[in-house]
Amino acid sequence: MASSSLHPPSPARPGLLLGVGVGPGDPQLLTLQALSALREADRVVAPTTAPDSEGRAESVVRQALPDLAVDRIPFSMTSDDTPEGAAARADSHQGAADRLVGWLDAGETVAFVTLGDPNVYSTFPSVAATLLDRRPGTRVETLPGICAFQALASATGTVLLDGTETLALVTALDGTAPVKEALSDPSRAVVVYKGGRHLPEIAALLADQDRLEGAVVGELLGLPGQTLRPVAEAAGEPASYLATVIVPPAPRRLQP
């Protein structure tokens, strides 16, 4: 496993913090590497909104390894961009670091599970950065997980990229401007994360730019309540936070 290039591992200290991607929801999409790491870790920890509630990543792990002990670390999952929201997130990262420091000082390998991949829009890098401020020299590594958009492409039979096509992976948490910008090149595939709330606006943008054909949205992929729909049929109302949109490149329509 390669050490994170952002965080040089020297001087070495006891303990290892391992960010483990568990895929979008279906436990069958856990990699063999992730399963081995979870079995071998001294401790498995999972983010949660409250100590008595099982987070999504923990539920994936529990289905695959029902007897595994999982420690919950409460996190503020607010997407609020006000100073208060940012302070709540920073506080929860400090709280997580407090607990991780104790375990790492005891020399443990701590596996921190995260939905999808730990290096794609995940809580893990900020937790690791907070920890490294407090405990420089900590070994931090990651194991890849299957991303939600990959699962959506497979589940809907969507070819995401072919030949020399390019991909824009954007978020629409605060509005659709990044989607509009990404759509400016019709030969580019666009994946939208965190855009459930703005799904009607995204659909309108796609209709405007003649990009609705082939565009799909997946909600709660691999989780109870999963839905897979053409964006054209889902445009009427907002979707949940766990929704992903794929817009394939436009020129493919012209190919035989």
For ligand SAM, the binding residues (CB under 6 A) are 24-25, 115-117, 120-122, 147-148, 193-194, 218-223, 241-244
CA distance 15 to 222: 33
Q: How far is the CB of 61 from ligand SAM (least distance, A)?
A: 14
Closest CA to 25 of 245, 244, 229, 223: 223
Nearer to ligand SAM, 26 or 100 (CB): 26
Q: Tokens 């990699």 correspond to what residue?
A: 31
Q: How far is the CB of 256 from ligand SAM (least distance, A)?
A: 32
H or E stretch at 91? helix 83-105
Nearer to ligand SAM, 9 or 27 (CB): 27
Residue nearest to ligand SAM (CB): 116
Nearer to ligand SAM, 24 or 248 (CB): 24
Secondary structure letter of residue 22 according to DSSP: -
Backbone angles phi, psi at 24, to 5 degrees: -75, -20
Retrieve residue 108's tokens. Answer: 């443990």
Nearer to ligand SAM, 101 or 169 (CB): 169
Amino acid at 135: R
Q: How far is the CB of 239 from ligand SAM (least distance, A)?
A: 9
Nearby residues of 224 by Cβ (< 8 Å), 6 or more positions away: none
Nearer to ligand SAM, 15 or 222 (CB): 222
The 10 Å Cβ neighbour count of residue 90 is 13
CA distance 73 to 21: 16
Nearer to ligand SAM, 222 or 248 (CB): 222
Nearby residues of 141 by Cβ (< 8 Å), 6 or more positions away: 1, 2, 3, 4, 16, 17, 18, 19
Secondary structure letter of residue 251 according to DSSP: G
